Structure 1
Amino acid sequence: MKTRTRIAATLAALAVLGGGLAACSTDADTASRNIATAAEQFEVQRTIVGINGITGETTFFAEGRCSFESEGRRFDVTCRYGPDEYRKHVFIMGDQDSVSITQEQPIDVSVYHTRVILKPQSILPEFDLEVGKQ
């Protein structure tokens, strides 16, 4: 299963390379992509609940400005707790578990324009520069 992060990165790469997005996408598709992009920027308030399908008990709970990725039985949740404070929570799900992700508040996204966020610090490599006398 592709993660939302990979989808957002792929969309950004297509826009940068001039590939753009398909002209025949619907307003719902565009709004959905823009909400996913906003969520990856920690702009969307969410409640994420893991539920055991046999007992009905809550196995995990996360609430806040959270992004998630899932692959197989692994479920990674990264939440923003402050301007420079992030925490990652990893859940390994069993055969009978399910996850519910709820967006708590509506957000304003355009259905006419696709949102692409490029961060130069992610594109340019980090390096150390030492200057001295020879």
Structure 2
Amino acid sequence: MLKRIAAAAIGAALMLTGCTNDADVASHNLSKAADNFEITRRVVFYNGITGGYMLSIEGLCSLGNNDPARQVTITCKTGPSSYKKHFLGLSDNVTFFVEQLEPAKASAYHYRVTFKPQSILPDIDFRGDAGELLSGGE
């Protein structure tokens, strides 16, 4: 009986997964590509009172996924292993929009999954004084 319930639950989950429309799958894949710094974007901060642009950031940029309310972080790749991170606060008269500057290929049928085994092992930095360790804190 338990096997039948499990099989029914798995079948229902697979059927619901198949109900996702093409636009949602393509959107997910484009977001994943942008988060991997593969898509050039322009981020513009706009003052709704003056009608002027306050800041424009352009490049291989990713928007923060877990930002607190009324804040946004933007991380941009500037070289093979160099990045810049921008922190911006939003107010009732400041908003922003993000423009993808070039078309990008993305599947509308298969979700993209990124597996990065390097991220499993931490990069540990040691900070300390060997003399202090050997003296026993005296």
What secondary structure sits across from 1:77 in the alignment? strand
Please, which runs of 5 or more residues in structure 2 have no aligned partner?
1-12, 126-138
Residue from 91, 108, 111 that aligns with 1:114: 111
- In the alignment, the residues of structure 2 paired with residue 99 and residue 115 of structure 1 have an alpha-carbon distance, to the nearest angstrom, of 27
Q: Look up the match of 1:39.
A: 34
Structure with more helix by fraction? 2
| Equivalent residue runs for 1:1-134 within 5 Å | 22-69=17-64, 70-126=67-123
Please, which runs of 5 or more residues in structure 1 have no aligned partner?
1-18, 129-134
Alpha carbon RMSD of aligned pairs, Å? 2.0
What secondary structure sits across from 2:37 in the alignment? coil
* Number of residue-to-residue matches in the alignment: 110
- In the alignment, the residues of structure 2 paired with residue 125 and residue 46 of structure 1 have an alpha-carbon distance, to the nearest angstrom, of 30
TM-score (norm 2): 0.73
What secondary structure sits across from 1:71 in the alignment? coil
What secondary structure sits across from 2:85 in the alignment? strand
- In the alignment, the residues of structure 2 paired with residue 22 and residue 87 of structure 1 have an alpha-carbon distance, to the nearest angstrom, of 37
What secondary structure sits across from 1:76 in the alignment? strand
- Structure 1 residue 124 displacement after superposition: 3.2
The C-alpha deviation readout for 1:39-65, integer Å capped at 9, x for no partner, is: 000001100000011011212210000
- In the alignment, the residues of structure 2 paired with residue 76 and residue 48 of structure 1 have an alpha-carbon distance, to the nearest angstrom, of 11
Q: Percent identity?
A: 43
What secondary structure sits across from 2:17 in the alignment? coil
Structure with larger Rg:
2
The C-alpha deviation readout for 1:55-113, integer Å capped at 9, x for no partner, is: 11212210000001243111101000111110001111221111110000000111121
- Structure 1 residue 127 displacement after superposition: 5.6
TM-score (norm 1): 0.75
